[in-house]
Amino acid sequence: EVQLLESGGGLVQPGGSVRLSCAASGFTFSSYGMNWVRQAPGKGLEWVSGISGSGGSTYCADSVKGRFTISRDNSKNTLYLQMNSLRAEDTAVYYCAKMVFGVVFGYMDVWGKGTTVTVSS
C-alpha cells in the first residue's frame, strides 16, 4: 500500500525553527517528485515547496522563499521540510504529497494525513 506519514509538527515560537519529515512506503520513492502543501486553519490549500525525484531540483513559494528548505533522502525514503524564521502566518497543517507523473509541477495522487505546526508565543 502506498503511504506517506508526516511527523515533526508542534508548537514553535515566532522566529523559531522546526523540521518536518515525511516517510514514504509502497512505491519507488526516488522516481517521483514530491511536494509540501499547507492549509491554515479554516482556509484553503497552499503549495509550499517541491523537489524532483533525484533531489537535484527544488522550488519554493515566494511566501516561504529564503526561510524554508525542502530536501529528500532517497536511501531512507524520506522527504523533509526545514522551516526557519517561523511566523504566525505559517501556522497550518502541512501535508506531503506524491506527484502522479513524477514531475515536480504536476498533480498529487497520494497525500499524508498531515502534521500541524503552530507558531505562537
Partner 1 sequence: EIVLTQSPATLSLSPGERATLSCRASQSVNSYLAWYQQKPGQAPRLLIYDASNRATGIPARFSGSGSGTDFTLTISSLEPEDFAVYYCQQRSNWITFGQGTRLEIK
Binding site for partner 1 (CB under 8 A): 35, 37, 44-47, 50, 59, 61, 95, 100, 105-109, 111-114
The three cell numbers of residue 80 are 523533509
Query: Is 23 or 45 the residue whose CB approaches partner 1 more closely?
Result: 45
Q: CB of 56: closest distance to partner 1 in angstroms?
A: 18
Query: Is 5 or 55 the residue whose CB approaches partner 1 more closely?
Result: 5
Q: CB of 78: closest distance to partner 1 in angstroms?
A: 18
Q: CB of 51: closest distance to partner 1 in angstroms?
A: 13
Q: CB of 112: closest distance to partner 1 in angstroms?
A: 7
Query: Is 1 or 121 the residue whose CB approaches partner 1 more closely?
Result: 1
- The HSE-up count of residue 69 (CA atoms within 13 Å, CB side) is 10
User: What sign for the dihedral angle of Cα 84, 72, 20, 105?
Assistant: positive
Give the distance, in angstroms, between the CA of residue 8 and the centroid of all CA atoms in the same chain: 11
Angle of CA points 13, 65, 101, to nearest 5°: 115
d(CA 51, CA 61): 12
Q: Which residue in 65, 87, 69 sits closest to 13, CA to CA?
A: 87
Query: Is 18 or 93 the residue whose CB approaches partner 1 more closely?
Result: 93
